[in-house]
């Protein structure tokens, strides 16, 4: 049994992050206005006793909501399937589709990190998903070169898991023939469905 451990963006709490972001923005603007505008009737100085604690609380809640998006995944791979600490157990035979943004991953021929540095574009957050026969979706969001929620090493561990997973699926559905390249089971768009052919 192989074990894979990595951090990822679970893409939860988006609405909470937006609420606390705008609350933080509002309280910072109000506090700054009270400090900079000397007009006593519009913004009395005693309002600082309310706005400064609100601003600090909003910043703290924004930080907590943003850090809550990071999860630690531990996947244990066996001959029949795998067990995920975040999503539970999944048999290989129960997987109905796999979606990997293959065109964006440099290890699979996508753009290299230098391209994003040179063009000053944001590096993509890659969404990898596995759907089971009962409709359950396992979703991991990572940056290939690291970011706020994962490191480059975390992505390498996930890529090792994806390689092992797709090799197992290939052998399960293609007469135990060994795959001769990375993620051979996927089509050119990075998708695989149980009833499709490679």
* Angle of CA points 136, 10, 26, to nearest 5°: 130
Order of all β-strands in the sheet with 81-84: 88-91, 81-84, 70-77, 2-9, 137-143, 125-132, 95-99, 191-193
Contact 58, 20 (CB under 8 A): yes
Distance, in Å, from the CA atom of 15 to the CA atom of 28, rounded to the nearest integer, reads 20
Section 167-172 average pLDDT: 87
pLDDT in tens, 71-118: 889 999 999 999 999 899 999 999 999 999 988 888 888 888 888 888
* Angle of CA points 18, 20, 26, to nearest 5°: 105
pLDDT in tens, 9-62: 877 666 766 787 888 888 888 788 777 776 666 666 777 777 788 888 888 887
Entry pTM: 0.74
Residue with tokens 């809640």: 61
């Amino acid at each position: 049994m192989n074990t894979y451990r990595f951090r990822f963006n679970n893409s939860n709490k988006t609405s909470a992050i937006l609420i606390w972001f705008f609350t933080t923005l509002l309280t910072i603007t109000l506090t700054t206005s009270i400090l900079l505008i000397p007009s006593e009737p519009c913004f009395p100085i005693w309002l600082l006793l309310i706005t400064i604690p609100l601003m600090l609380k909003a910043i703290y809640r924004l930080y907590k909501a943003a850090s809550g998006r990071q999860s630690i995944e531990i996947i244990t791979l066996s001959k029949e399937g795998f067990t995920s600490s975040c999503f539970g157990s999944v048999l290989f035979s129960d997987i109905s589709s796999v979606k990997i943004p293959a065109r964006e991953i440099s290890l699979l021929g996508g753009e290299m990190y230098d391209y994003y540095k040179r063009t000053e574009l944001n590096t993509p957050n890659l969404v990898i998903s596995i759907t089971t026969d009962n409709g359950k979706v396992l979703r991991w969001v990572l940056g290939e070169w690291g970011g706020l929620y994962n490191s480059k090493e975390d992505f390498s561990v996930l890529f090792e898991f994806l390689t092992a997973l797709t090799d197992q699926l290939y052998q399960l559905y293609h007469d135990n023939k060994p795959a001769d390249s990375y993620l051979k089971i996927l089509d050119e768009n990075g998708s695989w469905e149980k009833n499709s052919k490679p």
